[in-house]
Amino acid sequence: MKKDNAKKQTKVKKEGYLKGVSKELSKVKWPERKEVFKYTISTIIFILIVVGFFILLTMGMSWVIKMVRGA
């Protein structure tokens, strides 16, 4: 008998949780296609800038190491 009550309580908790999740998701303001495109382009540009920085940093460090070893 106790197992049946525990199962029912668990089922009620799960249903309540899922209803709560559904309710919260309905409150979310999802971005429009234009916004997603704008944020995607911004992210790609930022990544390219960071990659360029690290490439220049690596080249600079290689140049410094060559100068030190050559001297």
pLDDT digits (tens, 9 = 90+) for 6-46: 665 666 666 788 888 889 999 999 999 999 999 999 999 99
Tell me, what DSSP letter sits at residue 32?
P
Q: Would you state the pLDDT for residue 20?
A: 87
> Any idea where the domains of the chain sit in the sequence?
1-30, 31-71
Specify the pLDDT at position 42.
98
pLDDT at 31: 93
Please tell me the predicted confidence (pLDDT) of residue 7: 63
> What integer pLDDT is reported at residue 11 of this predicted model?
62
Calculate Rg over the CA atoms of the chain.
Answer: 28
Q: What is the mean pLDDT of residues 38-66?
A: 97
Dmax over Cα atoms in the chain, in whole Å? 86
